[in-house]
Homo-oligomer: A and B are copies of this chain.
């Protein structure tokens, strides 16, 4: 059994994954944007805010994996076109989630990074399909997945020939109810010692509470993460999804400043 991820431990330098001119695994990458693309106005306004605050990537869901079938399911192609427009205007590359094997090929024409979400971490058909593209893939950890299972899922993608995998810790499910999930930051150094892949952290889903996002972002930096993915919305209380965990633009700008400052400090500390 050839393990493309595990066998590489210690043998080669960290994989650098380039998307446009941003490099995961070399420097610190901040992805931000709304949970869902709701309208052109909402998205473009957020994109400019992310850009001005110093974010690197825009996120925005157009296919939404929602617990209830009666919840907003996303704008689909129309949303992708809005993301594309935002990229043209602001220069920010973007990432979006794909849910269905039938969508992988055409969505990868639009997006800079394909996201496989937590609920689909073990959707092996989807993993194989994104493994057949040459787009970078961000693979979120499943809510109840061990690190070993997660790495096996990354291996599914690598085995199909796509080495551009970014891992994202987004919280696991526990009995605790104060936070939406339990952000497992120990996964960051664990992934570091087990693989050569970059790992980023999503403190928005990881905590589900606006007030915890800044401290957990700083903690992620100190633990050695290669980046962050943060939910930003121009008007959080009006968001169609995840309103409790989205930052307003000014909060995000303050977070970027502190995070960049800590990243620089940590480089001197190691």
Contact = CB atoms under 8 A, between A and B. Distances in A.
Interface of A: 1-2, 65-70, 99-102, 119-120, 122-126, 143-144, 146-149, 152, 155-156, 159, 172-179, 182-186, 188-190, 192-193, 206-207, 211-212, 215-216, 218-224, 258, 261-262, 265-266, 269
A78 B147 CA distance: 34
Given A99-B123, A182-B184, 17 more contacts: A2-B70, A101-B101, A101-B102, A102-B102, A144-B173, A146-B178, A148-B177, A174-B175, A174-B182, A182-B182, A185-B185, A186-B206, A186-B207, A189-B215, A219-B223, A261-B269, A262-B265
Contacts of A218: 222-223, 266, 269
5 contacts: A68-B155, A179-B186, A215-B222, A218-B266, A265-B265
B224 A222 contact: no
Given A68-B155, A152-B68, A262 B258 contact: no
A123 B103 CA distance: 14
Contacts of A185: 183, 185, 216, 219
Q: How many copies does the complex hold?
A: 4
Contacts of A69: 124, 152, 155-156, 159
A176 B184 contact: yes
A261 B265 CA distance: 10
Contacts of A101: 100-102
A190 B212 contact: yes
Q: Sort A-B residue pairs by CB-CB distance and give the 7 closest, nearest first.
A: A144-B144, A222-B222, A100-B125, A219-B223, A119-B122, A189-B215, A218-B222
Nearest to A180: B186
Contacts of A215: 188-189, 192, 222-224
A223 B223 CA distance: 10
Contacts of A2: 70
Contact of A189 (B206, B211, B261, B266): B211
B190 A67 contact: no
A84 B151 CA distance: 36
A148 B68 CA distance: 10
A65 B96 CA distance: 25
Given A67-B152, A70-B1, A99-B124, A186 B216 contact: yes
B143 A144 contact: yes
A158 to B, nearest CB: 9
Given A123-B119, A123-B123, A144-B173, A190 B216 contact: no
